[in-house]
C-alpha cells in the first residue's frame, strides 16, 4: 500500500509541476537534436512458480536518459535506471535494489502540433542486490508511448511497455507491463 501511495504521489508531482504551463507547439524534430529526460515508473506483478507459493512484487523505477535524433523520426540513446522492489512471499517481505544501463531506439510517427506518438525498443544489462545475494540480468523492452509538449522545448512523456529481465545466477525470467512517466527537455 505504501508503494502505491508513493507511485501516485510521484505521478501527481510530475503533473502538478507542469500544470501551470500551457500546452505548446513542439519543435520540428530533426537530425542533431538531443533529448534529456527524467522518468518515474511503477510495476506490480505476481510470480507463480509450478511448485511453491506465489510472490507478489511491487517495483518503483527512477531513471535518467539522453538521446540524439539521427533523423527527424529516429532517436538513439542511453538510459540509467534505479529500481526498488518489495516482494511478498507467503507473508515474508524482502526488498531489493537494482541498477541497469541500457540503450534504446525510438521511432516517432504522425507528430501533430504538440503530440508525438512513438514506439520504443530497449536492450541493456544490470545488477540486483537482494541483501545476501547479487544477480546480474539482461533486460529488454518494447512499448508504445506519446510525448505532449508543454512548452516549445519541454514535454510530458508517457509509455506503456512490455519489459523482461533474464537473471544469470538464479536462472529466472521476470516479465510484465510497465507504465512510465517522464519529463523531457529538448536541446
What cell was used for 132? 545476501
Q: What is the three-class DSSP state of 59?
A: strand
| 92-139 confidence digits (pLDDT tens) | 898 999 999 999 999 998 766 788 999 999 999 999 987 778 899 999
**Contact between 176 and 43 (Cβ < 8 Å):** yes
Pairwise CA distance, residues 108 & 8, whole Å: 28
pTM of the predicted model, to two decimals?
0.81
pLDDT, tens digit, for every residue of 38-77?
999 888 878 777 888 888 888 899 999 999 999 989 999 9
- In the chain, how many domains are there? 1
d(CA 178, CA 176): 6
Structural domain for 162, as ranges: 2-186
Measured CA to CA, the distance from residue 45 to residue 49 in angstroms comes to 13
Q: What is the CATH number of the domain that holds 142?
A: 2.40.160.20
**Terminal Cα distance for the chain, rounded:** 39
Amino acid at each position: 500500500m505504501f508503494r502505491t501511495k508513493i507511485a501516485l504521489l510521484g505521478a501527481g508531482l510530475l503533473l502538478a509541476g507542469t500544470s501551470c504551463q500551457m500546452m505548446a507547439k513542439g519543435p520540428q524534430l530533426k537530425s542533431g537534436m538531443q533529448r534529456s529526460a527524467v522518468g518515474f515508473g511503477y510495476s506490480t506483478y505476481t510470480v507463480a512458480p509450478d511448485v511453491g507459493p506465489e510472490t507478489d512484487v511491487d517495483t518503483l523505477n527512477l531513471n535518467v536518459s539522453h538521446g540524439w535524433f539521427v533523423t527527424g523520426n529516429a532517436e538513439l540513446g542511453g538510459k540509467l535506471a534505479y529500481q526498488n522492489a518489495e516482494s511478498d512471499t507467503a507473508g515474508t517481505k524482502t526488498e531489493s535494489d537494482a541498477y541497469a544501463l541500457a540503450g534504446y531506439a525510438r521511432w516517432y510517427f504522425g507528430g501533430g502540433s504538440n503530440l508525438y506518438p512513438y514506439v520504443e525498443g530497449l536492450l541493456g544489462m544490470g545488477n540486483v542486490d537482494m541483501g545476501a545475494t547479487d544477480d546480474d540480468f539482461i533486460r529488454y523492452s518494447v512499448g508504445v508511448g506519446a510525448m505532449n509538449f508543454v512548452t516549445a522545448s519541454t514535454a510530458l512523456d508517457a509509455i506503456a511497455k512490455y519489459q523482461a529481465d533474464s537473471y544469470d545466477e538464479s536462472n529466472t525470467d521476470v516479465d510484465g507491463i510497465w507504465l512510465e512517466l517522464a519529463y523531457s527537455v529538448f536541446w
